Structure 1
Amino acid sequence: MGFLTTIKAARAYRLQQKGQKDEAKKLYEEAFAEGLNDPRYNLAYALMIIRNGEYQKAKEFLVKHQKAPGMTQSQRVTLLVDYAACCFRLGNLDKGIDTLEQQFRKTETSLLYQTLGYLYVEKYAAENKPDFEQQAEAVEEPAAQETENGEGTESEKKLSPQEEWEAGLAKAEEFLNKSLEYDDEDPICLDNMGQFVYRVKEDKAGAKTWFEKAIAIKDSQIDTLYFLSRYDLENGDKEAALEKLEKAAAGRFSPLNYCNKETVEKEIATLKGAN
């Protein structure tokens, strides 16, 4: 890799910052083909293609560059968070969670609390809860291992799918509470707790307090605005809901948002058409 390769990467980064993504992508890929492996540019490029919805390409790129020389601990965490987001959007949520849990055992950071907390909400949301009764009917219970006296040991007893779910749910709630002990003014963690109460516990009234705390700290947070607009619509206040949705639509969406830009814009159009 020559000196000109680094200059090319720096130019790609500047173009990316200006929103000229196609030109930036071309230069980045030329630089990578020439041997560039700088964590700053690797992460910038990965983020750009993730925001473009190229999750498989980004995932493979991040795996290839996970041991780039000179990577800081902060950059390592960012890489793993981006990788987990790709796993989530590619339909392998458990892989994303496992990746971040492993990293969290090594170090606690705000970014890990924010991202892993959200992935827990996605995993345990009420709409994703399996039908355990149907599973029990479809799967025959395996024979329990026995000790010499004919009794199964506690350590050998396998949890049922429902017990595993409930244990994971309790762990997720404990983690979300811990995230707010770590920083009780983190708007993303507050929103995560709101979504947990709203989507997992299905306690809409209880969730509202968390969303209001989050919006008081960061009034442009997309998901918080979206969920608060649900309360406006339930109260028949379409104008207030529309205001929040339009503000959300102007934000920068990520793969870790509950709602996407298309969904929000479609709802805005529907509300305007109903007026």
Structure 2
Amino acid sequence: MLIISTLSTLCLLAVLDPAYSIINGERVQWNRHGYLVKVFSREANSNLVTSCSGSVISASLVLTSPQCLLNSTTDERFSEVAVSVPTFRRPRTLRAEVANITDSWALLKIPTLSAKDLCPPNPAPKRVAQLNVRLSLLRSSLINIDVSALSKRKCWLTAFTTTTNASAFVKQDDVRMIELDTLRPSEDSTSEALRYKSAVVGNRSACWDDAGAAVMCHLNEFGDVQVGIFQTLTVDPREVADNETLHSIRECARGQSMNFAMIVNDQHLVSAIEKHDLPAFAEVYRRCRFGDD
């Protein structure tokens, strides 16, 4: 993951390593995929910060990968987290707290964003990733999706492009989208963690710092819905040269498949949203008119 030097959690400065992000994607405008955010995390009093992606799912909740919050060496959770969100003028970086974390996803709480800004009038795209949830007066209701049917749907992943240094990544708004090949069940799935994968085609792939990026699919009954989270990349170790550094961009260029944690039909996630943000969640769904089919 990207490593940068800081004065504080919210003041990101100099550069040590490049950012290994999406490669060979189609360039798109960030404000048309405004749910996409950058997630930065570090240990207290450390000047080393890691970067990931995430998605805004309500006015005060961001969904990302648990990998973004764990030190890969010690497996300990980072104590300080910040989220950079797009705004009309320039990205804003906000402190975040870990509200809930599982093996599949992590839920971050941020200062409440304006529901009006997240849900601009049509035809402007919404700046919230919609889930397969509908609201009643007192709670949210998970509408089950036939996961096997996702293999027949158009699905894509949006993230930031690779940059040669970290300071450029902090400030950049160069966003790329790749259309995913057929989503298929992964051998890593368990009864508690649903995993899917998609083959890398035409060398179009997410990379290490895209962990946490939303997997979106178009569903007839909902429109565009977040169905999963990019976790990691499968690379044939026989194709990696001995002198290549671990998690290099060359590895991403040799990726075989992208691996995702699926969040559709995850009642635990819905319960966590209800616990930490039901009023703001409901307000965003009302303003964005999610469910007005």
Q: Report TM bin, short chain.
A: under 0.3
- Between Structure 1 and Structure 2, the one with more helix by share is 1
TM-score by length of 1: 0.27
Structure with bigger gyration radius: 1
Q: Name the structure, 1 or 2, with higher relative contact order (CA <8 Å, separation 6+).
A: 2
